[in-house]
């Protein structure tokens, strides 16, 4: 079965060019006044010519801790601290608190053994056979140290297939001595590179990876501009996965008496670029448009972007500013997206708006989905929504409610499989009963999923 890609993964090189808005265009004054903003943004933007994170809305989604865990009483308590912040200048801080009484959790899940503050997805997703380069310049807080358990500051995660474990990680080992870039494939783990780091000291790491289920993949790493080192001619994939996206942040193990405290990791100059693909030089336009949004309105910033020459960078920036709008008024941003011409730019904006909406008001976001599905163009959005860890593990009724909305029968069955097999780890009878009773699957599809549910753990 072929999994559909998110629109940002298939942005065309050009949709036709427009050099300047006509004299009657209502954004003309904004266009003229913002020329200096665009010039200034070009000077401030990193000279990377790749998809660059200029703000939190540049990402597919933000995974913010929203609970605190008290181990003595096994309680989770809602918490409204904003752990992931935009520090300006393309720098993002991921802050996690830990003490003997309680610690920040993993989003709103009931995972007791980990903390997560991450952003995920930047530009097109990586497919099998693609070579991508991901970059960060990062530093930890002055007292930051590896706890001895897992501590990842970058992950490349599958969005289908066996997506439980990350494929590639940039990890801090115990203490303050070493970091590693590792490949967690189905076969033996690969340690592509091991290097030193220092607390509160900026370090640039570039990871070049070719994903492939065959022995032609590669994983190469450059640290602070030195020569790339690693492995080539090896299998680099997760079982049955065909598509991946990056994550940056701080994701670490938590336990009572762990040697850690209140820590942060800062990332700046975050970029992603597919080798041989059209350049998505989004940063100058995004920076200029963000300034217009702050001094005028998101709607005017989007109108200004649409008046620019059509490029992949402009198209990506439109999705970013739509997501920025959704952070404060998701219904208005979605209404704007639905007023746009059909195509991948609209779909990219819709997907990123929906992620922010669901984070803030999942009943309203799912009501919107029910009113507009089935729609084949929304299937990729529904796949990511229903198989998101928060919904398939914790708030499972949300995922179960949305599964039948997927229009493609094979993709719908794969999503049912993904969600119900997690459910079946604790409640196999409930999961099997749900699958047997749904009208959204064919009898052969039901039989196949129920057989997996009933299969003893660890078997084939």
Is residue 124 a contact partner of residue 153, using CB atoms and an 8 Å limit? no
Separation of alpha carbons 44 and 39, rounded Å: 9
Residue 349, pLDDT score? 97
DSSP 53-95: --SGGGSSEEE---EEEETTTTEEEE-----EEEEETTEEEEE
Mean pLDDT of 74-87: 97
Model confidence band, residue 28 (pLDDT cutoffs 50, 70, 90): very low
Q: 159: phi > 0 → left, psi -120 to 50 → alpha, else beta; which?
A: alpha
Mean pLDDT of 308-314: 95
Mean pLDDT of 50-68: 95
363: preceding bond cis by omega (within 30 degrees): no
Separation of alpha carbons 140 and 267, rounded Å: 9
Residue 29, pLDDT score? 40
Is residue 414 a contact partner of residue 1, using CB atoms and an 8 Å limit? yes
Longest dimension (CA), the chain: 70
Contacts (Cβ under 8 Å, ≥6 apart) of 282:
51, 52, 54, 58, 312, 313, 314, 316, 317, 320
Condensed to tens digits (0 to 9), the pLDDT of residues 407-444 reads: 999 999 999 999 999 899 899 999 999 999 999 999 99
Condensed to tens digits (0 to 9), the pLDDT of residues 293-307 reads: 999 999 999 999 999
Is residue 221 a contact partner of residue 229, using CB atoms and an 8 Å limit? yes
Tell whether the model's pLDDT for residue 20 goes beyond 70.
Answer: no
- CA-based nearest residue to 272, from 127, 172, 125: 125
Is residue 85 a contact partner of residue 95, using CB atoms and an 8 Å limit? yes
Separation of alpha carbons 72 and 60, rounded Å: 36
What is the chain's Cα-based Rg? 22
Instruction: Walk across the sheet containing 75-78 and list its strands.
Output: 75-78, 67-70, 103-104
Contacts (Cβ under 8 Å, ≥6 apart) of 336:
299, 302, 322, 325
Sign (positive or negative) of CA dihedral 304, 306, 311, 314: positive
DSSP 323-350: HHHHHHHHHHHHHHHHTSPSSHHHHHHH
Domains annotated on the chain, with CATH:
7-49+279-360 (no CATH), 51-274 (2.60.120.200)
Contacts (Cβ under 8 Å, ≥6 apart) of 355:
60, 61, 323
Residue 52 in tokens: 């660059």
Residue 391, pLDDT score? 81
Q: Which helix (H) or strand (E) holds 265?
A: strand 263-274
Model confidence band, residue 458 (pLDDT cutoffs 50, 70, 90): low
Separation of alpha carbons 52 and 211, rounded Å: 21
Condensed to tens digits (0 to 9), the pLDDT of residues 266-278 reads: 999 999 999 999 8
Residue 418 CA from chain centroid, whole number: 18
DSSP state for residue 27 in the 8-state scheme: T
Model confidence band, residue 395 (pLDDT cutoffs 50, 70, 90): confident
Please list the residues that pair with 204 across neighbouring strands.
Answer: 137
Tell whether the model's pLDDT for residue 342 goes beyond 50.
Answer: yes
Residue 41 in tokens: 């943004």
Residue 409, pLDDT score? 97
Lowest mean pLDDT across 39-43, 177-181, 225-229, 439-443: 39-43
């Amino acid at each position: 079965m072929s999994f559909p890609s998110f629109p940002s993964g298939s942005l065309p090189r050009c949709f036709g060019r427009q050099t300047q808005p006509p004299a009657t265009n209502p954004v003309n004054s904004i266009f003229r006044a913002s020329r200096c903003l665009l010039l200034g943004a070009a000077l401030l933007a990193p000279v990377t010519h790749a998809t660059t994170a200029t703000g939190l809305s540049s990402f597919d989604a933000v995974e913010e801790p929203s609970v605190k865990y008290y181990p003595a009483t096994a309680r989770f308590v809602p918490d409204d601290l904003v752990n992931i912040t935009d520090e300006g200048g393309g720098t993002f801080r991921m802050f996690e608190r830990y003490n003997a009484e309680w610690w920040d959790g993993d989003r709103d899940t009931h995972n007791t053994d980990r903390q997560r503050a991450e952003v995920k997805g930047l530009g097109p997703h990586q497919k099998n056979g693609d070579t991508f380069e991901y970059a960060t310049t990062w530093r930890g807080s002055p007292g930051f140290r590896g706890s001895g358990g897992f501590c990842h500051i970058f992950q490349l995660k599958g969005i289908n297939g066996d997506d439980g474990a990350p494929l590639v990680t940039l990890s801090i080992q115990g203490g303050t001595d070493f970091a590693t870039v590792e490949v967690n494939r189905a076969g033996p783990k690969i340690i592509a590179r091991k290097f030193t780091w220092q607390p509160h000291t900026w370090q640039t790491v570039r990871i070049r990876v070719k994903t492939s289920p065959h022995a032609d993949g590669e994983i190469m790493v450059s640290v602070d501009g030195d020569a790339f080192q690693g492995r080539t001619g090896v299998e680099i994939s997760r079982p049955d996965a065909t598509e991946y996206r990056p994550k940056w942040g701080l994701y670490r193990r938590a336990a009572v008496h762990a040697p850690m405290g209140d820590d942060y990791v800062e990332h700046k100059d975050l970029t992603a670029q597919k080798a041989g693909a059209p350049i998505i030089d989004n940063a100058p336009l995004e920076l200029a448009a963000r300034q217009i949004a702050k001094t005028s309105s998101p709607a005017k910033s989007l109108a200004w972007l649409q008046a620019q020459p059509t490029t992949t960078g402009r198209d990506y920036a439109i999705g970013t500013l739509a997501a920025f709008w959704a952070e404060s008024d998701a219904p208005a941003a979605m209404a704007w997206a639905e007023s746009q011409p059909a195509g991948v730019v609209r779909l990219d904006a819709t997907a990123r708006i929906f992620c922010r909406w669901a984070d803030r008001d999942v009943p309203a976001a799912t009501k919107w989905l029910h009113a507009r599905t089935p729609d084949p163009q929304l299937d990729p959005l529904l796949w990511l929504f229903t198989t998101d860890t928060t919904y398939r593990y914790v708030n499972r009724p949300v995922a179960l409610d949305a599964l039948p909305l997927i229009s493609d029968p094979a993709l719908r069955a794969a999503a049912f499989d993904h969600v119900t097999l997690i459910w079946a780890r604790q409640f196999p009878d409930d999961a099997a009963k749900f699958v047997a009773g749904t009208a959204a699957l064919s009898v052969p599809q039901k039989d196949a999923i129920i057989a997996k549910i009933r299969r003893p753990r660890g078997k084939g």
